[in-house]
Structure 1
Amino acid sequence: MEGGNKKSIRNALKKISSEGFLSKVYKPPIPDGMLQKLEAVSEEWLVNTKRNEFVFSQGMFIWEELKQQTIITVENAEEKIVAFLNIIPDHVKGEGTYDLIRKTADAPNGVIDFMMIALFNYLRENGFQAINIGFSPLSGLSNPHNFPERSMKFAYEKIRSFSHYKGLRQAKEKFSPGWQPKYLVYEDDYDLLKVPAVLTQVFKP
């Protein structure tokens, strides 16, 4: 939170707090009434963003699963939930992670940053040293070496249908993560060119 490059996050947190919003942590088992509120937020998010569940890069809203997980919400003064995320097992010692991030259409600007900072604080207070904020497909090709790699870089940067990947990278960059590259092993160039289409298919429920 320190430094000039985090000023926008600090301003967003201050603005949201001044409007009466606050973050809350709910430990499992989560009451059914709370799950109903979370499900309504999730459904509204899917409709407003015209998305399906991205089951390859994150989970689906499964009632029985969320009931046994820690939930962080952002709520207004009337206890209306405008955003939530669920903490899931990471299986790496000292590292935490999350799954779903959902918000309502009327949630204040910066609510995701507000909720992420609440998550960071919660994990730190509970003895975690790191957080896995997930991956960013197709990004990181700063120096493509051949035509297929240049094609993938072009698709990532210029083609609208891949804009989600670019936005995902930008949203995570603001938290100054330490990116770790992941690699694919392939036999010929055609296999590499099929990666975007394959990702599109596996993201579907």
Structure 2
Amino acid sequence: MSAIIIIAIIFFYFFRPKEILPTNHTIDYEQVAEFLKSHNEHTNAHLIFLKDKSVFWAQDGNALISYKKIMNKLVVLGDPIGKNEYIKDALLEFEQFAHRYGCKPVFYQISCKYLSLYEFEKYQFVKLGEEAVVDLVGYSLVGKKGAKLRSSRNKFQRQGYSFTVTAPPFSNDFLAELESVSNSWLGDRKEKGFSVGFYSNKYVSHFPVATIRDEDERVIAFATLASTNSEEKHGIIIDLMRYYPTCPNGTMDVLFTSIFYWGHEQGYQSCSLGMSPLANVGNTKDVKTIEKISKLVFNSNKFSYRFKGLMEFKAKFTHTWNGKYLAYKKTFLPIVIIQLILLIRTNKIEKELPYASNKLGRRIVG
């Protein structure tokens, strides 16, 4: 009889029916925005406003985790957001939440800051790439080092091109200009999601937008500017970047350097250029097989433009790089990678009506 009871307990523990993960809960984005004003030092937290992810509040609302379900995985974008003292318990709380619904947590694009906490909880790591960060304190193009970028910026100014940062709310005409640029840039390609910004009027309207206009005042390139905000430092993130394929050479260089000058003038301390996938992956002694394969892909001629070219473009502006990692446990890594690819590539964008009011956006910098 005792053996039957033990078997029954084991069977119930491993094969008990799991609860169904709730997918229709309403997210209070105003609450999220208010929380991020004082608790956000992560450079991907703004992607919550893509509204393609779910939100998990941990530690009685003192920590925030954004995630998306694919198969039996709950994939978290970045580290938990909140003060340091809540992060460890937030990780445990989310793991229990995932297990409750028969899922496994996976943390995508985590920083170096909390690696020891994940390691303590028996997570394994794979390096995904590195994030380029520009130091805006005392930023300048003066001198030999900045000569080429300075020359491009001066040339554009002489030819009548102008740089502007416009704050929301935006007029429908302004959004129509941005959408036209975005559609032209996108061409026949499909938008991605989850860890990559995609164009929608509602999403873009959350952020200031930096633009380059030609001599006819037509927007030819733009970038949305998200921000980090913590007790320690304030930074900006160049998020969604789009331009007309017919733009003059150097347009994006001018847009970026103008953003750096603007950020410095506004008192920001750093500017994130986003992650370069596979950058400096597989360069250490003790690397996993998957990282060795990633290094071969990065250096191959077939993918050189996509991966190495992106890193080289960002390297023009900075030499500061921060590692980004994947944390996982008790799961087969190749399956996780396939699921991540599907998660990023699969993006459903609903057709939307014009979002903005008829008020003109406020130009912060002319």
1:139 Cα deviation after fit: 1.2
Does structure 1 residue 156 correspond to structure 2 residue 298? Answer: yes
Aligned residue for 1:128? 268
Q: Which has the higher contact order (CA 8 A, sep 6+)?
A: 2
Number of matched residues? 202
Does structure 1 residue 174 correspond to structure 2 residue 312? Answer: no
* Larger Rg over CA atoms: 2
Aligned residue for 2:239? 99
2:227–2:234 Cα contact (<8 Å) kept: no
Structure 1 residue aligned with 2:217, among 79, 83, 92? 79
Letter in structure 1 aligned against 2:292: R
Aligned residue for 1:61? 199
Aligned identity (percent) is 26
CA distance 1:176–1:70, shift in 2 (3 Å): same
Does structure 1 residue 38 correspond to structure 2 residue 151? Answer: no
Does structure 1 residue 90 correspond to structure 2 residue 228? Answer: yes
Aligned residue for 1:19? 159
1:36 Cα deviation after fit: 0.2
| Alignment RMSD | 2.5
Does structure 1 residue 8 correspond to structure 2 residue 148? Answer: yes
Q: Which has the larger helix fraction?
A: 1
CA distance 1:159–1:127, shift in 2 (3 Å): same
Secondary structure of 2:274's counterpart equals coil
Q: Which has the larger strand fraction?
A: 2
1:85–1:101 Cα contact (<8 Å) kept: yes
1:198 Cα deviation after fit: 4.9
Does structure 1 residue 28 correspond to structure 2 residue 163? Answer: no
Runs of 4+ in 1 over 4 A off after TM superposition: 185-188
When structure 1 is superposed on structure 2, of 115-124 and 86-95 the one drifting more is 86-95
CA distance in 2, matches of 1:30, 1:148: 45
1:77 Cα deviation after fit: 1.4
CA distance in 1, matches of 2:326, 2:209: 34
1:12–1:109 Cα contact (<8 Å) kept: no
Secondary structure of 1:135's counterpart equals strand
TM-score, normalised with respect to structure 1 = 0.85
